[in-house]
């Protein structure tokens, strides 16, 4: 796991509870996913939060009147509920200016869990959270904040090694010929090959997500202390097996059509509005809606789901790139269709 805890909160509770709690846990040696310290300019908010939820051992949920009134924190809570297993707790409730009756009205599931009120003081809240983490760690024999070496894609490891020889810097640049990644004077992957571009983007995100590199600017990543200290696990010659998402059945046929065309071309999809309606360009193929609003809505639904499920990356307002996972998914789809 990349983080010990994920902090879900309403923005109104940031100053009073969320930030002091995050700082106290970090001072105590715990890795904390907290928006102010984890997100950087230009990050895809939904993808970053989904990644944080999936890669945190526990979710601290700051329940308050503001939390109950907002949609976004509740979506994070739904994500934590979905990740929780019957044999292992994931959600750690913190009550801020709410009573047991308030929590009961909001969620009967949460009301059955013991929460710690902020009225007892920050020090007590932190102590209760650490006690819960340590107790759960003892049960499952998984010590919090244990020094770990994440299993990376071999290309990510190559990036690290090349960056180590170049003062810890990785430079990235979008240009007319494609997307280049260099460390020192060494280019990583063919800059005009859409698969190489997708792999480079994937591996950069992997380094940042695992805390091995920091994004200093749009074009510069710098290795962290963890990146400099990374020990390559023995026998890592293949990438971890990809976990393919399940797409909505109604979108699946159109998704295959778009992705296959994009992968057979330049790995890009464009969504362009014009006087006659809308056109979706995938690789060398154009799909006209002819002004049909239902058709336009369907294709936009497909695009949104492909982005949400990580098969596409939104490069600009109307431009999409097939992700590394998207290339692998489409290869699998092509193989399955060929066997039918």
- Give dist(CA 229, CA 331) in Å, integer: 35
CB 160 within 8 A of CB 230: yes
Separation CA 88–CA 121 (nearest Å): 27
Active site residues: 76
Give the total residue count for the chain.
340
Please name the residue ranges forming H helices in the chain.
Answer: 19-27, 35-38, 45-54, 65-69, 71-83, 100-106, 108-111, 122-140, 154-164, 194-209, 225-229, 249-264, 293-308, 324-339
Sign of CA dihedral 318, 323, 327, 333: negative
Put the strands of the sheet holding 319-322 in their side by side order.
285-288, 277-282, 268-274, 319-322, 312-316
Q: What is the Cα 297 distance to its own chain's centre?
A: 26
Q: Measured between alpha carbons, how far is 9 from 68 in angstroms, rounded to an integer?
A: 10
């Amino acid at each position: 796991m990349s983080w010990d805890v994920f902090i879900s909160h309403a923005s109104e509770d940031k100053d009073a509870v969320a930030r002091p709690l995050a700082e106290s846990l970090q001072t105590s040696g715990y890795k904390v996913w907290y928006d102010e310290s984890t997100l950087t300019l230009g990050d895809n908010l939904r993808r970053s939060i989904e990644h944080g939820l999936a890669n945190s051992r526990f979710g601290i949920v700051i329940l308050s009147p503001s939390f109950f009134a907002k949609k976004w924190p509740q979506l994070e809570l739904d994500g934590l509920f979905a990740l929780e297993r019957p044999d292992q707790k994931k959600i750690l409730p913190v009550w801020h200016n709410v009573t047991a009756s308030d929590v009961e009205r909001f969620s009967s599931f949460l009301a059955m869990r013991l929460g710690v009120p902020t009225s007892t003081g920050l020090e007590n809240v932190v102590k209760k959270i650490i006690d819960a983490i340590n107790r759960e760690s003892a049960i499952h024999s998984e010590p919090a904040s244990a020094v770990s070496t994440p299993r990376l894609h071999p290309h990510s490891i190559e990036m690290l090694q090349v960056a180590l020889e170049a003062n810890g810097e990785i430079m990235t640049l979008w240009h007319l010929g494609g997307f280049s990644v260099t460390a020192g004077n060494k280019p990583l992957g063919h800059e005009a090959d859409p698969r190489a571009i997708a792999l480079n983007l994937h591996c950069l995100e992997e380094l940042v997500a695992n805390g091995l590199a920091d994004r200093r600017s749009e074009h510069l990543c710098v290795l962290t202390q963890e990146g400099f200290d990374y020990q390559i696990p023995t026998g890592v010659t293949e990438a971890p097996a990809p976990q393919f998402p399940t797409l909505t059945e109604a979108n699946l046929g159109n998704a295959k059509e778009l992705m296959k065309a994009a992968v057979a071309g330049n790995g890009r999809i464009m969504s362009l509005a014009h006087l006659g309606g809308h056109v979706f360009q995938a690789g060398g193929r154009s799909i006209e809606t002819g002004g049909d609003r239902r058709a336009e809505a369907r294709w936009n639904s497909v695009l949104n789901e492909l982005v949400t499920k990580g098969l596409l990356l939104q490069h600009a307002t109307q431009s999409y790139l097939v992700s590394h996972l998207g290339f692998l998914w489409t290869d699998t789809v092509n193989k399955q269709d060929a066997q039918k």
